[in-house]
Amino acid sequence: MGRKILPVILALCLLGGCGQGEAVPSSAESADPSAVQTYAEESRAVTTAETSAKAETSAETETTFPEVIPEEIQLPEEAYIETGTFDQYRCEPAGATACGATAGTLILQSISFAEGDELAQRMNTIRGYSALGDDYSCGAPQYYLAGFQISNSLNRYLEENGMDYKVVNHRSEKSTEETLMELIATGRPAVLEVCYGNGAILPEHQGYSHWICVNGYRTSESGVEFRYADTIANGEYYVSSELLDKSNANVSYGDFYLQPERYIAAFEDPV
């Protein structure tokens, strides 16, 4: 290291004090005060100009750093949110068509877990909104719920109970699989509609549809499976990602005035 210091000091002397390659005045020229003054002024002018140029170059360099691109979110291979399930036939009014209200209510389990009579009371309160008008159901006597009516019912309950959350539709250009995995990995169960019959999710519409609450997933070499709470079968089960997406895409309301929107109801922000 000691051998490198001397050349550096010498180079600094040449660059700064000797005018960067300009001829050093002779002793005769040094005797002339005006010559010394002229040379000094010229030397300072050259040094100042070069220093200014270097400063500008440095400033330009500082503004050309590449943007830092955030890394993609790495999802876990398996995630599950405890929601439990509920027998929708215990709800009033019209328990046979209360799947939207009951599956929707299970979304709230991630922020305020309830069970037993407390869960039953919450379910009945939210189902009760169905009788309030078109914002909350398609009307008597069946009180079917579309996706936006599930969100409206849950958001009313959240507001009335001082819970600062909001349920929205997460359907986008992303695949069903990607959307559900991101929601569950960030603590948000999701509700969507499927073709249904004999206690099972079906790939094609056979006369009935059913709202389920997706609360988990697991990955393997064969793909992704989603765990869901079924309020008709009153249990929790797994379904392949492919079947879930196909079933959701094939839901039909026939000639009913409302049509499926492939709605995915979940909290707007991670919890």
Q: In which band, very low, low, confident or very high, does the pLDDT at 30 lie, cut at 50, 70 and 90?
A: very low
Name residue 229's beta-bridge partners: 213, 236
Q: What is the pLDDT of residue 257?
A: 82
Q: What is the pLDDT of residue 71?
A: 53
pLDDT in tens, 156-200: 999 999 999 999 999 999 999 999 999 999 999 999 999 999 999
Name residue 209's beta-bridge partners: 195
pLDDT in tens, 194-248: 999 999 999 999 999 999 999 999 999 999 999 999 999 999 999 999 999 999 9
| Residue 86 near residue 103, CB atoms below 8 Å | no
Higher pLDDT, 24 or 42: 42
11: Cα separation from own chain's centroid: 56
Contact residues for 98 (Cβ-Cβ < 8 A; gap 6+) = 88, 89, 91, 123, 127, 130, 143, 231
Pair type for strands 235-240 and 223-230: antiparallel
Average pLDDT over residues 109-126: 97
Higher pLDDT, 48 or 139: 139
| Spatial CA neighbour of 215 closest among 144, 159, 267 | 267
Q: 246: buried, middle or exposed (CB in 10 Å: 19+, 13-18, 0-12)?
A: middle
pLDDT in tens, 48-104: 445 454 445 444 444 444 444 445 668 999 999 999 999 999 999 999 999 999 999
Report the predicted TM-score, pTM, of the whole model to 2 decimal places.
Answer: 0.73
- Angstrom distance (rounded) from CA 155 to CA 167: 6
Domain 78-267 CATH (choose: 3.90.70.10, 3.40.250.10, 1.10.1740.10, 3.40.50.720)? 3.90.70.10
- Angstrom distance (rounded) from CA 85 to CA 235: 6
